[in-house]
Chain A
Amino acid sequence: MPPRLRGHPLADLHFGDDQPTEAEQAAIDAIVPQANAASIVETERIVRGGRSRRHGLRHLLLPVLHSLQHEIGWISPGGLNGAAERLGVPPAEAYGVATFYELLRTADPGHRDDVVHVCVDPACALAGNNELRTTLDADGARVHDSPCLGQCERAPALFVQGVGRPDRVPADDNEEFQLPQAGDPGLRVLRRVGVVDPTSLESYREHGGYEALATAIEMGPDAVIAVISDSGLSGRGGAAFPTGIKWRAVADEPGADKHVVANCDESEPGTFKDRILCEQDPFAVIESMTIAGLATGASHGWIYIRGEYPRATARLESAIAQARASGLLGDDVAGSGQRFDIELRRGAGAYICGEETALFNSIEGFRGEPRNKPPFPTTHGLFSQPTAVNNPETLINALDIVIDGPDTYRSLGTERSPGTRLFCLSGRIGVPGLYEVPFGTPLGDLLDLAGGPVGSLAAVLLGGAAGVFVGPDSLDMPLTLEDTREASATLGSGVVTVFDDTVDMEAVVVRIAEFFRDESCGQCVPCRVGTQRQHEVLVELQGSDKPLTKQRSELIDDMALAMVDASICGLGHTAASAVRSALSLGLIGNSQ
């Protein structure tokens, strides 16, 4: 063990008496070797450290905590002290970070078994997660309830969090990937998915990979941003913000300490598209990020991937390594003379970390609490530097736009919603899975494409928990940004969860309310308390045979308005939308 630097015991970085075990120390060393510690004891008389050094290491906190959790099964006081000391992070803050994440445990579980996470969200509830849970329990597995695991097309979903062994998704083992639309010539974003070998750069090149980067280098940053702007490409992460404007804003900031972040945290219940993109076409994510980097003049790229996505993580890591080895990442990207490289960070079980500013805090080693905007990420993003955050689907769209030009992109979709859109279909639907259709396709057509609803259609949840329920009368609604907005609905991240009349909708709605209560970061009052009280009102309502009273209905509306108006971030802003749409559709709260 390295010499333990104990200052005057009243010193500010005060560590309790608990010391890391050898195994814990090794888990820490694996991420941050002693040679890179926050305090370097050069000799008995010279210590180098200081705040700037500590700040520079802080972003390794979450990786170190992951490492401890993975090796030991929890983050013990000794392990936390060891991590905190190595990085110069105050233990209280490290604890604050560790307790923020669902995948990190700060209480001794009393065993070193793997933990089996079972999804409790709607698609899996419909597919019999309860029976699955019972079986697992009977087998003596360590079962843990989890929000949507991003595998809704193959519900009920499991994720096995390994202790001392790699994390696993059992469904990955026996799956030969096939898109429902396999072979459809209309596919754009999904063109290579299920076709290309996702583990091979060569295969990616054979399928047109890295042509877009070459074109982009030839065009130069301005022209790239111009075609992206002209194409009308908008964000697919939920907020539908114009990508060209975002890139332009970052490009206009001075310096090269700028960042491009691929937001692969995908945790919106019902969404699984980004997992499939990252697993099946990882090089496309890397290539498109690189283009974004060159276009915006950013030299740092980050992928923030959901912690429950082990296969996507492995494939992205391998893709990064291959790209780097081939000079497609690094100090001189593909002979462009520009530097761009990518670091990958894993989330640890927090829906809120998909919110872009929470994501920055998470990478930086702080609690994943969203920041107030303005200032916006384009000027004060990751490490307070200019940052372009994009969803992988958004990014991959840029590849074809660079090669084919904006007009080809605009030839599909509508004037205000050009291009195609991915939709994640799950629930009571013939063939659950990932679909790509042009914007403007009516909802009913999309359902038909996926084999049509099973049973008698009762409602469709569009946009996930943060979205809204629509009824069977909305099947004609064209799936565009403008039409959904007009109908007070949303496309969100492309979730389409289908319910028939056998489903206990009250349970579904209560679960959505519970999801927000669980996932609120807790920072701002309207959301922290509002999501809690909203859940309490719905639980009270659930199973009661009395109709919703005027007072209760008012209370729900009052809370919703405050959450929308006064919360810091999108989570609070949307926490009441599905609930209220369910009420107005009469899915809950009627005399039953």
Chain B
Amino acid sequence: MSGAITETAVTIRVDGQEVAVPEGATILDACDAAGVETPTICYGPTLTPVNVCRLCVVELDGSRALVPSCSRPAEEGMVVHTDSERVRHSRKMVLEFLTTGVDVSQADELGQWAEHYGADPSRYVPGGETMDEPVRVQDNLYIRDYDKCVLCYRCVEACGDDAQHTYAISVAGRGFGARISAEFDVTLPESACVYCGNCVAVCPTNALQFKTEFDLRQADDWRPEDQTVTQTVCSYCGVGCNLELHVQDNQIVKCTSPDDHDVTSGNLCIKGRFGWNYV
């Protein structure tokens, strides 16, 4: 969002503070505008909100249940509470729920929020169900470690309608057994995947990871603190996608694209995403 306030602004109250946002903006946008930080998992600035994680819920006067701030459009006169007892409770529970079944060790933001809300995954019945999936290493470009998957649907959206339109993966199964999967769980090279890596780019938990990162982590040599990120332009076709090269020890270790660039919206194709190892 540009933050520019158009003529048709709506004013809402967030934790007692009045904020004006353009029509069509969400409650989350309004929270941002009010300087209130909101935890999110399934929300992505370039994706259509699916509002499934329910971490971003807020209390809205006049609504019986809490509402997901990431998808609910702000309407004139809304009164929203982001730090009420109920909000804190639901956020804490969502974080507890996620941390009981999923390996969130590489989901840094999630971990910070879990601490913030005092989530305590240890109070559940020992030996409960977990994701329990093997790491899928099926090629040299990226890996899938669904033990880390919180089923936020972001990869499915990026692979599908929101960007890539390839639809190589979907949610399969139901309930706690739901998993991200290609048809019949075929390997990625057998699937429709075209390796744009746009799913990797949006995954909030590192369940999808560059193979380079995975290998470095396996070797215990992944050092984000020693990495630089440089913005440049893809060397291949004439579209002019911007790249962010992540470099460790003078080696490119992964490649992303800025979300706020209106050519790419964070997306790349296989060449831009992975075609750099000759450097």
**A residues with CB within 8 A of B:** 10, 12-14, 16, 77, 80, 84, 90-96, 99-100, 106, 350, 367, 372, 374, 517-526, 528-533, 536-537, 539-540, 551, 555, 558-559, 561-562, 564-568, 573
Contacts and interface: CB of A to CB of B under 8 A. Distances in A.
Contacts of B182: 91-92, 95
Contacts of B184: 77, 80, 95, 106
B170 A96 contact: yes
Interface string B152-189: 00000000100001111111111111100111101000
10 contacts: A10-B194, A90-B170, A520-B176, A522-B178, A525-B98, A532-B101, A532-B128, A539-B125, A562-B94, A564-B65
A567 B52 CA distance: 9
Interface stretch (B15-23, B53-61, B257-265): B53-61
A522 B177 CA distance: 8
Contact of B183 (A80, A519, A532, A562): A80
Given A92-B182, A95-B183, A565-B65, A528 B54 contact: no
Nearest to A529: B97
Contact of B192 (A12, A564, A566): A12
B191 A92 contact: yes
A521 B97 contact: no
B97 A573 contact: no
Interface stretch (B85-93, B210-218, B229-237, B243-251): B85-93
Contact of B170 (A77, A93, A520, A526): A93
A99 B172 contact: yes
A567 B190 CA distance: 36
Contact of B166 (A12, A94, A519, A537): A12
A375 to B, nearest CB: 10
B51 A568 contact: yes
Given A530-B97, A532-B129, A566-B94, A573 B170 contact: no
Contact of A524 (B54, B89, B174, B177): B54
Contact of A536 (B71, B125, B175): B125
A565 B90 contact: yes
A573 B65 contact: yes
Contact of A566 (B54, B98, B128, B170): B54
Most buried by A among B52, B90, B174, B182: B174
Contacts of A350: 174
Contacts of B278: none
Given A526-B90, A532-B129, A566-B93, A12 B165 contact: yes
Interface residues of B, number: 51
Interface of B: 51-55, 57, 65-66, 68, 71-72, 86, 89-90, 93-94, 97-98, 100-101, 123-125, 128-129, 150-151, 160, 165-178, 181-184, 186, 190-192, 194
Contacts of B51: 372, 524, 568
Contacts of A518: 175
A533 B101 CA distance: 10
Given A529-B101, A561-B89, A565-B89, A92 B170 contact: yes
Q: Top 6 A-B pairs ranked by shortest CB distance?
A: A90-B167, A96-B170, A14-B192, A562-B93, A529-B97, A522-B178
A76 to B, nearest CB: 9
B174 A91 contact: no
State the majority secondary structure of interface residues on A: helix
Nearest to B182: A92
B52 A529 contact: no
Contacts of A94: 183
Contacts of A531: 175-176
B52 A524 contact: yes
A533 B68 CA distance: 23
B91 to A, nearest CB: 8
A519 B151 CA distance: 17
A562 B54 CA distance: 10
Contacts of B178: 522-523, 528
A566 B177 contact: no
A567 B174 contact: no
B172 A536 contact: no
Contact of B175 (A13, A519, A533, A565): A519
A109 B55 CA distance: 40
Given A80-B183, A372-B71, A526 B172 contact: no
Most buried by B among A77, A90, A374, A530: A90
